[in-house]
Structure 1
């Protein structure tokens, strides 16, 4: 496990030369340390029950809580997340996802991000899935 005072060395490059700055994300994030990959999380609780049927904000909140738990199991937190990928069944859910994300990440140095609209996820009642990459010291 990572010690309380240990921090990964992470550098944010929000505006690489010739690239438009991101809106709510950083274009490039680098780090030194151990890579932590968290599989795509969906809005299922610890019993496998759906949280937030039909509600993208409620599903996003459950997903970010699941991500938090997964990151903690690897000894890191959202400060060490360098990349988030959002898979949304409707891109119109993105504002709700960003609202919840901003409760978990440091908005002054957000991770790199990608958002992809998909035709569907492995269950039709799931509206989104989010995966994360982090760097541990």
Structure 2
């Protein structure tokens, strides 16, 4: 395989404008073969402030805003979501999340998993990752 063929297979990564700098060795977005993979988004605002002391509702809205920003930065949008994975620290938050998510997603109904977990980084209550079409 020639160098140019190999580079065509390499995912294009980015950290869209308006999102906090990633806190580890990763990019917010990786694009390959017509798909956009969005790394787990935590409730961290664009200035890098972690919303650990905010309500679950505020954290969920921030995470979904981050996801929308990541999609827009990669040339996609909510209606092109293929799969969404949600991690919440307490299954009791599921109903409230589903309500917020339904309002945010509108007519989009991608495949989805909501997984209760014992803890998330920085004491946050929710993390969301997703795959979308370009």
Task: State the superposition RMSD in angstroms.
Answer: 1.5
Q: Which residue of 1 aligns with 2:35?
A: 35
Bigger fraction of residues in helix: 2
Secondary structure at 1:62 match in 2: helix
Does structure 1 residue 63 correspond to structure 2 residue 54? no
Q: Which residue of 1 aligns with 2:74?
A: 74
**What TM-score comes out, normalization by structure 1 length?**
0.69
- After TM superposition, the runs of 4+ consecutive aligned structure 1 residues lying more than 2 A away are 50-54
**What TM-score comes out, normalization by structure 2 length?**
0.70
Secondary structure at 1:123 match in 2: helix
Q: Would you say the 8 A contact 2:86–2:127 is kept in 1?
A: yes
- Structure 1 stretches lacking a partner, 5+ long: 1-32
Question: Whole-Å Cα distance in 2 between the matches of residues 57 and 99 of structure 1?
Answer: 10
Q: Would you say the 8 A contact 2:79–2:105 is kept in 1?
A: yes
Residue 88 (structure 1) shift: 0.8
Change (3 A) 1:52 1:61: farther
User: How many residue pairs are counted as aligned between the two chains?
Assistant: 102
Structure with larger RCO (C-alpha < 8 A, sep 6+): 1
Residue 53 (structure 1) shift: 2.2
- Structure 2 stretches lacking a partner, 5+ long: 1-32
